[in-house]
Amino acid sequence: MKLLDKLIIKDFLKTYFFVVLMLILVVLVLDFTEKNDKYISNQVPAGEILRYMGNYGLYLNNLLTPITVFISVIFITSKMAGRTEIVAILSSGVSFVRLLRP
């Protein structure tokens, strides 16, 4: 694996995990605030709520993975184009297909 591949994959994974984490946290906070009064009225233990939030977070991760991959790829590509990294890579002799491999 070349240095260029490592750079692109590292940037992609950082962006992917950040986007996933932010989306899941926002949805979990909204879900908790909607169901908070039901938790209080039914006297649900905190352990049950945390277990539900953990399982629901994993479900959301599976549900949101395709869109978060798309968002991450678009964001990384636009960031690289904004810093003219793509132009520099292509002008150094790397083919466009090779650039897309990672």
Q: Where are the alpha helices (DSSP H) in the chain?
A: 3-41, 46-82, 85-91, 96-100
For residue 69, give its domain range.
3-100
pLDDT tens for 24-62 read 999 999 999 999 999 999 999 999 999 999 999 999 999
**What pLDDT score does 87 carry?**
83
pLDDT tens for 57-101 read 999 999 999 999 999 999 998 988 888 888 888 888 877 787 777
**What pLDDT score does 1 carry?**
64
68 close to 19: Cβ distance less than 8 angstroms? yes
> Into how many domains does the chain fold?
1
The model scores a pTM over 0.75: yes
- Estimate to the nearest angstrom the gap between the alpha carbon of 42 and the chain centroid: 34
